[in-house]
Amino acid sequence: SQQGEEDPQALSIQEGENATMNCSYKTSINNLQWYRQNSGRGLVHLILIRSNEREKHSGRLRVTLDTSKKSSSLLITASRAADTASYFCATPANNLFFGTGTRLTVIP
Amino acid sequence: NAGVTQTPKFRVLKTGQSMTLLCAQDMNHEYMYWYRQDPGMGLRLIHYSVGEGTTAKGEVPDGYNVSRLKKQNFLLGLESAAPSQTSVYFCASSGLSSYNEQFFGPGTRLTVL
The single-letter DSSP state of residue A26 is S
CB burial of residue B50 (10 Å; 0-12, 13-18, 19+): middle
pLDDT at B67: 97
Report the pLDDT value the prediction gives residue A67, as an integer from 0 to 100. 94
**Amino acid at residue number A12:** S
The yes-or-no verdict on residue A2 having pLDDT over 80 is no
The pLDDT tens digits for A47-97 are 999 999 999 999 999 999 999 999 999 999 999 999 999 999 998 865 678
A93, A2 contact by CB (below 8 A): yes
The three-point CA angle A82-A84-A86 to 5° equals: 135
Torsion angle of the four alpha carbons A97, A101, B36, B40, in this order, in degrees rounded to the nearest 10: 120
Contacts of B104 in chain A (CB under 8 A): 42-44
Mean pLDDT confidence for B34-58: 91
C-beta of residue B45 within 8 angstroms of C-beta of residue B74? no
Per cent of chain B over pLDDT 70 is: 99
Q: What is the pLDDT of residue A1?
A: 45
Interatomic CA distance for residues A9 and A24, integer angstroms: 13
- pLDDT (mean) for A3-8: 80
List pLDDT tens digits, range B72-87.
999 999 999 999 999 9
| Residues in B touching A98 (Cβ below 8 Å) | 35, 42-44
- The residues on B that touch A, with CB distances below 8 Å, are 4, 33, 35, 40-45, 48, 56, 58, 90, 92, 98-99, 101-107
Angle at B40 (CA atoms; ends A47, B59), nearest 5 degrees: 75
